[in-house]
Amino acid sequence: MKKTSTRLADGRELLYYDSHHTPRATTDHRPLGPPVATTSEIRQDPLLGDSVAIASHRQGRTYLPPADECPLCPSRDGRLSEIPADDYDVVVFENRFPSLAGPTGRCEVVCFTSDHDASFADLDEDRAALVLDVWRDRTAELAGLRQVEQVFCFENRGAEIGVTLGHPHGQIYAYPFVTPRTAQMLRSAAEHRERTGRNLFDDVVAREVAEGSRVVVDAAHWVAFVPHAARWPYEVHLHPRRRVPDLRGLDDAARAEFPGVYLELLKRFDRLFGEGQAPTPYVSAWHQAPVRAAGRAGFGLHLELFTIRRAIGKLKHLAGSESGMSVFINDVPPETAARRLREAASA
């Protein structure tokens, strides 16, 4: 992997990640002024203790532009975009409309391919491996920033999820706090350790493998399963068999096997609802240990992949119980979801 750092016309950082040693000397010729003034502010909920980002400047961000105006496509044929080069493998740049910036963290965009009409599932294994290397590199660099407490790599796909740009891309949030969901996992892991003397993440994976009914992919270095108490209609958790706290800890064997396993899972999601259906909308989220929090060593890196589509033409909306009380009601039994995902395997 070759990494080349440059600056956009407004001073934001952009990084090219190439599989080969491709020269990168392009300049952003757009007449951009200074970066959009951010009003990002972190406020604390006094009842729940949660941190909330207030970012009103994001109201003006680009929203579902036509393909010929996509800011994530390469700069070609006289049209200038966020990426000055006329082609690329993987690109990372600072978000022009960040939810977090400066002392409140950092937000980055990760473009997986220059092909506007592709998706992550369309990538070959070499490109998927490069994306994994990019996630690992960004995790290492962002974790080194003084204000960052947690690094979150994720992808939202589909207008139903709320995506505002159709080009295949993901994002990375570097939070200045430990997120509520991760904090709860750490508390549960600490309580489990005190009660049993064992690691919670290890026990969860061992239980799913032993029961077997919810396992979707059982590989040498990764295991994917629908969790016992799945919140979403189709939800898969992907764990490395050798527990590590974050992406930086993956060994060579796990890194080599990941592309094939992950691409297979994405393809199964797209086959869930049959031929002729629109691509399955999903969220793919890496859960990594906080940078400095107590209990970090016992945390288990894993990826959570889920869709809000529960049937053809039907979406799972967060209604009163979910939005008001954080109590999920799932219409699809986890065992049924796992069976359907197994049946959606490649021929």
d(CA 231, CA 234): 8
Q: Indicate if 57 belongs to the active site.
A: no
User: Can you say how many angstroms the Cα of residue 89 is from the centroid of all Cα atoms in its chain?
Assistant: 18
Q: How far apart are the first and last CA of the chain?
A: 32
d(CA 205, CA 322): 26
Q: Compute the C-alpha angle 267/270/271, nearest 5°.
A: 90
Tokens linked to 85: 């080069």
> How many other CB atoms are there within 10 angstroms of residue 303's CB atom?
22
Question: Active-site residue among 167, 169, 192, 302?
Answer: 169
Q: Do 315 and 160 meet the contact criterion of CB atoms below 8 Å apart?
A: yes
**Closest by alpha carbon to 83, among 15, 34, 36, 31?**
15
d(CA 197, CA 212): 24
Q: Kind of pairing, strands 106-111 and 169-175?
A: antiparallel
d(CA 176, CA 148): 5
* Residues contacting 86, CB < 8 A, separation 6+: 26, 74, 75, 76
d(CA 106, CA 74): 23
Phi-psi region of 346 (alpha: psi -120 to 50; beta: other; left: phi over 0): beta
Which residues are identified as catalytic? 169
